[in-house]
């Protein structure tokens, strides 16, 4: 529950959204499927959010921004039914030499699990990205996607199941997510 407690204490637009930029980029990346389009999507989201900022009540900024991001994504899909895919490499910024190896190992894993996540249908992909990667509450995700909480849960659980099935193909010492039947039934 992040409210600004009245107009006097309300931060300016850029201050309010700057802290959410990482989340917006990661979610945009799950929707747009490449980093260039993800940056464009976030840029459009910020533009649209800035225009609505005056009328926004300041409650649940994160859900509000994700809603705008989702709507911009839908608009952009409608605008360009098909578009040549470009692949770009995300450079992670500056790294100290000492942490480079560990960072490469970590990145390799994160990139792998995100690549599998990106193979899921969009509804399930976004539910997992918002709930499990961004750790948003079911309530906030329901508000952001404008769907009932029960639908969030069912998409999330189904998405996890699909992701588990994809990860089962991995070596067990790498993933540590195999070994179960995948159903959790009696």
Partner 1 sequence: MEGPLNKVADGTARGLGLWYTLSHVAHCPQCRRFLESLKAMIGKLHRAREVEPSEESVQRMLNAYRMSAPPGG
Q: Which of 3, 11, 19, 50 binds partner 1 (CB under 8 A)?
A: 50
Asked whether 48 and 31 are in contact (CB, 8 A), the reply is no
Residues 87-146 interacting with partner 1 (rule: CB under 8 A):
90-93, 106-107, 109-110, 113-114, 117, 128, 131-135, 138
Asked whether 163 and 127 are in contact (CB, 8 A), the reply is no
> If residue 140 lies in a helix (H) or strand (E), which one and from where to where?
helix 138-145
Note whether 9 binds partner 1 by CB under 8 A.
no
Query: CB neighbours (10 Å) of residue 79?
Result: 8
Note whether 22 binds partner 1 by CB under 8 A.
yes
Query: What count of residues does the chain have?
Result: 186
CB of 133 to partner 1, least distance (A): 5
Asked whether 182 and 164 are in contact (CB, 8 A), the reply is yes
Note whether 184 binds partner 1 by CB under 8 A.
yes
Asked whether 116 and 88 are in contact (CB, 8 A), the reply is no
Q: Which residues bind partner 1 (CB under 8 A)?
A: 14, 21-22, 25-26, 35, 39-40, 42-44, 46-47, 50, 90-93, 106-107, 109-110, 113-114, 117, 128, 131-135, 138, 153, 156-157, 160-161, 163-164, 167, 175-186
Q: Which residues bind Zn ion (CB under 5 A)?
A: 186
């Amino acid at each position: 529950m992040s409210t600004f407690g009245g107009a006097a204490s309300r931060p300016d637009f850029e201050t309010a959204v700057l802290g959410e930029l990482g989340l917006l980029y990661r979610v945009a990346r799950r929707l747009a499927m490449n980093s260039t389009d993800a940056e464009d999507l976030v840029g459009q989201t910020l533009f649209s959010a800035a225009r609505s900022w005056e009328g926004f009540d300041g409650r649940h900024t994160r859900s509000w921004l994700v809603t705008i991001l989702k709507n911009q994504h839908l608009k952009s899909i409608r605008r360009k039914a098909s578009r040549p895919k470009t692949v770009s490499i995300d450079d992670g910024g500056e790294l100290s030499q000492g942490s480079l190896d560990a960072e490469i190992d970590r990145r390799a894993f994160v990139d792998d699990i995100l690549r599998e996540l990106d193979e899921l249908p969009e509804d399930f992909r976004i539910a997992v990205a918002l709930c499990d990667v961004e750790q948003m509450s079911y309530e906030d995700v329901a508000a952001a996607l404008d769907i009932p909480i029960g639908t969030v849960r069912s998409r999330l659980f189904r998405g996890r199941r699909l992701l588990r099935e994809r990860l089962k193909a991995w070596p067990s010492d790498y993933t540590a997510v195999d070994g179960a039947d995948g159903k959790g039934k009696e």
